[in-house]
Chains A and B, each alone.
Chain A
Amino acid sequence: MNGTYKLDTTAWCPGCGNFVILKTLDKVIDSLGIDRHNLVLVSGIGQAAKLPHYVNANVFNGLHGRALPAATGIKIANHKLDVIVTSGDGDIYGEGGNHFLHALRRNIGVKVFVHNNQVYGLTKGQASPTSDIGFVTKVQPHGVISIPVNPLALAVSEDCSFVARSTATDMGHLERMMTEAIKSKGFALLDILQPCVSFNKVNTYKWYRDRCRELPADYDPYDRQKAFAAAIKWGNEIPIGIIYRSGRKSYEEMNPILSGEPLAKICKTNH
């Protein structure tokens, strides 16, 4: 019964990078032995934000840009749940930009997988907060003139517990990064570079494959200066891997009210 609770048909375009992310996430959930009844997938709005419907798990598909506040509330209410946010670059970095910044500060144990395709898909091809300068769209006919948000550098500057980049063009790498993110303590940001086959004719599978390079084996993710350097690197070579780890305590560890049983369990019911 529970094996079929999810929706079997997606709303995605053939060839979308979302399929790789979905397949990888499903695999990682099982390989880590996560109890799916104890897992909540949280999303906002957009094509990426539909992913939770295609996974057997609890789902909170909330408002555009508001996945992080909702995930924070869920994790506070029951910090024994595994809470994973899976949403797009527009949702997390644009509409929800302020929440992203403050979620980094809180460092609550929510894992955020951002499907970053550098374009707005569902609204048919406008620039996203991560579109490169010069990216031409119907709304930006002369090309984007604002510099892109750098989510990784922001996360490093806020001493985020876990900061990584991967790409939907390398499933093996993505699987390792998802696994490490879920295993980490505190807030985890995994930025996943992902082609949009319908609306981004620049940042294609080939474009990412040609540029994404794994960080060297001797790279020390605890070195914050090096992490900044890796985070701001973009162009002909884009580093992928665990950019940064901090030893920061998580929100759950810092808040004594959450030291015991989850609040959702200790709320007595007179029912």
Chain B
Amino acid sequence: MDTNIRICGEAGQGVQTIGDLLTHTFAEMGLHVFATQSYMSRIRGGVNSFDIRIADRKLFSHREKADLIVALTEDALDVHRNGLSNGGMIIFAGDTAGDDVVAIDMIKAAKDAGGTPLMVNSVAAGVVVSVLGYELDILTGLLQKQFGKKGKDVTDANTACARMGAELVADLKGKIPAPDSGDATSAVFSGSEAIGLAAAVAGVKVVSSYPMTPSTNVFTYLASVADKYGIVVEQAEDEICAVNLICGATYAGVPAMTTTSGGGFALMVEGLSLAGMLELPIVIILGQRPGPATGLPTRTAQGDLKFAIHAGHGEFQRAIFAPGTLPQAYDLTRHALVTAHKYQTPSVVMVDQYITDLQKNISDLPDAPDPIDRFIVDNPPQGYVRYAITESGVSPRAIPGGGVFVVVDSDEHTADGHITEDLAARVALQEKRMRKGNGLTVDALPPEIYPDLTEEILLCWGSTYGACRETVDILLAQDRTICMVHFSQVFPLDAEKLKKIFRGRIVTAVEGNCTAQFASMLRQVGALNEYDTILRYDGLPFSGEEIAEKVSGNERNI
């Protein structure tokens, strides 16, 4: 059993508040919850939507069609009417509507229940819970918790509003089938929270960013836990400041991070190159959105992969990760920090609006401080130089304030860090830096194969994990033999190992861009020859159903 609820309305109307409230209510009921958002780049008006999918099994993707739609405005009703599943129900928050729509004047209901028009959110939540056939106790319990601080009057009024909502649809109670309460965990995380928490736990102490959707929520989350974890969160005047500031902070010995999107990352590119030259362990959270230029600021995309891989003038090594699930978002943020420090070179974590905003209940992520190893030499010997030539390319790292001088220069330098135009020294230092690529490639995370390797492969990376995994489940149920190969590290790649996975198999690349950037890169390194593509670049995420339909329609059956 699997039910999809969609709340839609204007920005500023409470779509997100109702969505959050329901997400937590369902999670408290022990249901598996998967919530996603779609919104416009504006503060008021437009049509935003919040989907909450609930099931009695783990969920990895959203669904295109909704079984219950709550439209708060006529525009929202018009936009989302066609998104209703067979047998679904639309509730319109107004006094009249067409025959196929249930009209409930929620503002009137809020006032009748002794509340304010703002409490329409609690009315809507009461309506939804009741239409799905659930009792109100968990919702009202959450309202108590949520409004407890505001006093008994506010709490009681909200509770009364929720009850009023339920009463108004008493004759529709249970009309939309929904899964039974289960034993899923009630801990709900968003992608942004998982990334931010991992960074805080790993001992990031300096975060500097310029706000830019869709990575702003990571920045905001870190600010919200800054006092608890002792993090300096500094809003930079621009992304150029942000990246250079964290270069300074890492030089001085502190794990540091920045968050941005494609346009901001473009401004950071010179700083990224600086980190490559100075051998600094900076980490950049890159939230992609459809470009070029400002593009679609609040929508999702996977269009910046090749940009991230090639960003920065000159040649230097880097590691690039792309989480596809919330546990991966947590684990890979830490791993990006560890890798950056181990190899003294930048790491990038590529996410997008879909994964940063998606909310899901998952087992509690550890929140106790567990700082990573900074790989700093405690007592550097006299005669220490910052860039000693080593076989691995990694030199012993000291930080200023100890017993030796730490000299770093964006100009080419000798092993002691001082500016040079000795071209033999240049070659030695450049080769030293590039040798880090060997270790980075050995350490590269292998792709996840779900469930087992088969003749036909759905190839994906980053946030398309859930949709592809669900596609495989749908197709396996239809007796089509297929598997998913998902990359959560996209650079560097071990082409020799990957050849063995792809050789002789039928590969369909699923990517949120126009040119199948990842697949074409695999072909470039010789790991993949031919492939079909399923691409989406309209700013919306893939769903499992959509990909399954396209794969089923693929005439080249095995």
Contacts and interface: CB of A to CB of B under 8 A. Distances in A.
B247 interface: yes
A98 B238 contact: yes
Contacts of A267: 203, 205, 253-255, 371, 374
Contacts of A76: 206, 232, 234, 245, 248-249, 254
A11 B421 CA distance: 11
A271 B248 contact: no
Interface in B322-360: none
B241 A78 contact: no
Interface stretch (B66-74, B151-159, B412-420, B534-542): B412-420
A270 interface: yes
Interface string A72-97: 11111110110000000000000000
A69 B532 CA distance: 46
A101 B402 CA distance: 32
Contact of B405 (A5, A42, A264): A5
A69 B208 CA distance: 10
B378 interface: yes
Interface string A237-271: 00000000000000000011110001110111111
Interface string B243-279: 1111111111111100000000000001100100010
A70 interface: yes
A59 B245 contact: no
B255 A63 contact: no
Given A61-B408, A268-B203, A271-B374, A53 B419 contact: yes
A227 to B, nearest CB: 24
A258 B232 contact: yes
Given A53-B418, A257-B231, A73 B376 contact: no
A258 B230 CA distance: 9
B467 interface: no
Interface in B528-551: none
9 contacts: A61-B411, A63-B244, A69-B248, A70-B247, A73-B249, A78-B399, A264-B401, A267-B371, A271-B374
B410 A61 contact: yes
A102 interface: yes
B246 A73 contact: yes
A69 B244 contact: yes
Contacts of A80: 401
Contact of A70 (B230, B248, B419): B248
A99 interface: yes
Q: Which of the listed residues B205, B372, B410 has the most CB atoms from chain A within 10 Å of its own CB? A: B410
Given A61-B411, A63-B410, A270-B371, A77 B226 contact: no
Interface in B172-196: none
B314 interface: no
A256 B371 CA distance: 21
A12 B200 CA distance: 45
A38 interface: yes
Nearest to A66: B244
Interface in A179-231: none
Contacts of A137: none
B403 interface: yes
Contacts of B256: 73, 77
Nearest to B407: A59
A37 interface: yes
A271 B378 contact: yes
Contacts of A264: 252-254, 399, 401
Given A1-B383, A69-B236, A263-B205, A60 B405 contact: no
B237 interface: yes
A109 B482 CA distance: 60
Given A38-B401, A266-B230, A59 B247 contact: no
A144 interface: no
A73 B247 contact: yes
Contacts of A2: 382, 404-405
Given A70-B251, A263-B232, A267-B374, A99 B241 contact: yes
A128 B276 CA distance: 30
A5 B402 CA distance: 15
Nearest to B413: A61
A59 B238 CA distance: 24
A61 B254 contact: no
Nearest to B248: A73
Given A40-B252, A69-B248, A271-B378, 10 more contacts: A50-B419, A69-B241, A73-B248, A98-B241, A99-B237, A258-B232, A263-B205, A269-B373, A269-B378, A270-B373
A145 interface: no
B391 interface: no
Contacts of A1: 382-383
Given A63-B410, A69-B245, A269-B374, A78 B400 contact: yes
Contacts of B416: 5
A268 B374 CA distance: 9
B307 interface: no
A1 to B, nearest CB: 5
A62 interface: yes
Interface string A36-76: 11101010010000100100111111110010111111111
B7 interface: no
Given A45-B410, A80-B401, A263-B205, A73 B253 contact: no
Contacts of B231: 257
B112 interface: no
B240 interface: yes
A36 B237 CA distance: 31
Contacts of B208: 73
Contacts of B506: none
Given A74-B251, A263-B206, A69 B403 contact: no
A147 interface: no
Interface string B211-246: 000000000000000110011101011101111111
Given A37-B403, A257-B231, A63 B419 contact: no
B249 A77 contact: yes
Contacts of A269: 371, 373-374, 376, 378
Q: Which of the listed residues B253, B383, B401, B402 has the most CB atoms from chain A within 10 Å of its own CB? A: B401
